[in-house]
Amino acid sequence: MNFSLSDSPQNSLFQKIEKVRRHQGKVRDTHITLAHGSGGKAMRDLIDDIFVKNFDNPTLSQLEDQASFHLASLMKQGDRLAFTTDSYVVDPLFFPGGDIGTLAINGTVNDLAMSGAKPLYLSCSVILEEGLPVETLRHVAQSMQAAAQKAGVQVVTGDTKVVHRGAADKLFINTSGIGIIPTGVNVSAHNIQPGDAIIINGELGNHGTAILIARGELALETDIESDCQPLNNLVETILNVCPDIHAMRDATRGGLATVLNEFVLGSGVGIRLDEQSIPVPEEVKGVCELLGLDPLYLANEGKFVVVVGQENAETVVSAIKSHPAGKNACIIGEVISSPSGIVLLKTAFGAERIVDMLVGEQLPRIC
């Protein structure tokens, strides 16, 4: 219902009501209750105090059920729209090098960037378990905003749901994102050709190892931190020197091995890797040897694979190394015509073995 103010005696009362209704709410509770998902004042206060306050931008501040954009302004940046969505259920919520909030922002930003797109706008939907400390949610929202600012994106719309205690594990987040693919950029596994170079932007396994240690189930002490970081600026740096990138993909769940198997299955070629060229930190190697894990399958949140023509490989490696997110970049293998659909690894002993898709799950709830 809309109120219109007039010169009536009730004018001052209506003004007071209007002022109260425009006032940004504040959460008084210390823990999430079912009322925070009821659609009433408690929910509005939570949204205002935690999300609107942290993600504040002109689009979000409209508080509509959707975010709207001028198509003409988007079309000036490219000729195609990239759209992605992902959900985050990591355990624990906080870990060395990040938390579920930074994962949610960076993961979606990176999925967009792997198409060559410039990420622009994100949505944020949260599922909260009754009893979650409000300060935990506030901390996560602050992390999300800091990550969004670093990546140069805005969270412009979202949703909040609360479930009964025990119906979820503290906090789940879904983020969707849109970006614009510049004219002339065509990044796809279908572009991969025999002779292409396989490049990675740094060391593998840090995220998966950091999560494993943070769970406290093992009596291990290390300084390993997650590599969680946005990659869109690095991708832009690469495209500036070599627009003809054949394929890119971030090595998250399933690690490097899964990405490369997806490539060969989608392009009808094979890949040969050189084990000695693949960068893995000594701490990660130690944990893997102790637990019988393979670092090629460990999750990463700041590493991606670039496939490019051999003639452009060194130029791309140099460009990646010039960026803070790629200082340990290197060529780790090449695309071969046969056997197709197979990833081969040349071991340190000179033998070759097949690197297959991950069977089962090395580490659940990793992102």
pLDDT one digit per residue (tens) for the chain, 367 residues:
333 334 455 556 555 544 445 567 899 999 999 999 999 999 999 999 999 999 999 999 888 999 999 999 999 999 999 999 999 999 999 999 999 999 999 999 999 999 999 999 999 999 999 999 999 999 999 999 999 999 999 999 999 999 999 999 999 999 999 999 999 999 999 999 999 999 999 999 999 999 999 998 777 778 899 999 999 999 999 999 999 999 999 999 999 999 999 999 989 999 999 999 999 999 999 999 999 999 999 999 999 999 999 999 999 999 999 999 999 999 999 999 999 999 999 998 989 999 999 887 778 899 9
Q: How many CB atoms lie under 10 A from the CB of residue 16?
A: 10
Residue 110 and residue 250 in contact, taking contact as beta carbons nearer than 8 Å: yes
Residue spans in the chain of domains classed CATH 3.30.1330.10: 25-181
d(CA 49, CA 23): 11
Which residues does residue 124 pair with via DSSP β-bridges, in sequence order? 158, 175
Residue spans in the chain of domains classed CATH 3.90.650.10: 189-354
Q: What is the pLDDT of residue 20?
A: 46
d(CA 142, CA 273): 40
d(CA 309, CA 136): 46
189-354 falls under which CATH superfamily?
Answer: PurM-like C-terminal domain (3.90.650.10)
Residue with tokens 């060529």: 331
**Measured CA distances, 226 to 84, 94, 214, 337 (Å):** 23, 11, 10, 35
Sheet with 197-200, side-by-side order of all strands: 245-250, 304-308, 197-200, 330-336, 270-274, 343-346, 352-354
Q: How many CB atoms lie under 10 A from the CB of residue 133?
A: 13
d(CA 47, CA 314): 48
Residue with tokens 């950029």: 185
Collapsing DSSP to helix, strand or coil, 302 comes out as coil
Q: What is the pLDDT of residue 100?
A: 98
Q: What is the pLDDT of residue 222?
A: 83
**For 25-181, CATH number?**
3.30.1330.10
